Amino acid sequence: MRQPKVVFKYAVIAAIVSNLIVFISIYFGWFGVAQGVGNNFCEATRNGLIKQPANSFSNIGFIIAGLTGAYQLSKGKFIQYSNILTKSIFFPSFLLIGIILLGPGSIAMHATETSMGGYFDMLSMYLIAAIMFTFAVKRYFKLSIPFFIAVFIGVLVVCHIFNYITTPIPVIGSFGSFIFGVFIISGMLFEFLHARKDTVDIESKWALAASLTFIVSFAIWTIGWDDHPWCRPNSLLQAHAIWHMLDALAAYFLFRLYVSENSDTAIA
């Protein structure tokens, strides 16, 4: 079957190219001078190219999650389902490449502690929120590809606008984190409404797994800061690194949710 094999090829190319670009940029210092961006996530800054090894390399989980989903598609694991991931090339490629790009995006900041790296880390957060929200809205409203892309870009624009509001928010930290949470929760709501449709048969256990994993990961994120009493700066076991790995797992669970769907309107 050509469709899943092509998706796997695209995913592998995206993983190789994106990580090569990031690590070559790190080696040659193209991200700029380290300014301590992201060094408040407990882990001590090391000498050398990779400033925060635990918080950097834990992002490999996103790459593994995206490649795993693409590989499973290529082997026909989900051939019994009828949905936008099994019946098209665009949507599974968009989703799985998006998940893969979360890894190098976050590595850019934690490895360099630069302003440019910080931007790519922020972008990776907004990317997963936009993916989750847009895939839920697309399937609920049966959006065409142009409208799907428009909503996705719109979410990223809104997130960027909120990101530039500098007023701090207790617990959450910033308006950027706030809007990230808004789109995540909104995506969950649309998934719930979509699953209740009579024309949709979907394995909701994956929605529960993704939600619980993300809730646990967020709880761990709240303790991964410099001023937390459990912070151990020189340890390779970092709460923020665990947050990365759990988020990667949640992203894979989202893929399994989307691909488990049987719908009479698989492609709109």
pLDDT in tens, 203-255: 989 989 998 998 999 899 999 999 999 999 999 999 999 999 999 999 999 99
Selection from 146, 149, 108 nearest residue 131 by Cα: 149
Give pTM, 2 decimals.
0.92
pLDDT in tens, 9-64: 999 999 999 999 999 999 999 999 999 999 999 999 999 999 999 999 999 999 99
Question: For position 4, what pLDDT does the model report?
Answer: 65
How much of the chain exceeds pLDDT 70, in percent?
A: 96
- The DSSP code sequence of 130-156 is HHHHHHHHHHHHT--HHHHHHHHHHHH
- In degrees, rounded to 5, the angle at the alpha carbon of residue 188 between the alpha carbons of residues 73 and 186 is 125
Query: What pLDDT, on a 0 to 100 scale, did the predictor assign at position 173?
Result: 67
Helices and strands of the chain, counted as H and E runs: 9, 2
In degrees, rounded to 5, the angle at the alpha carbon of residue 177 between the alpha carbons of residues 212 and 67 is: 55
**Average pLDDT, rounded, for the chain:** 92
CB 121 within 8 A of CB 106: yes
Is the pLDDT at 100 greater than 90, yes or no?
Answer: yes
What residues have CB less than 8 Å from 176, skipping those under 6 apart? Answer: 122, 125, 159, 162, 163, 165
Other C-beta atoms within 10 Å of 116: how many? Answer: 17
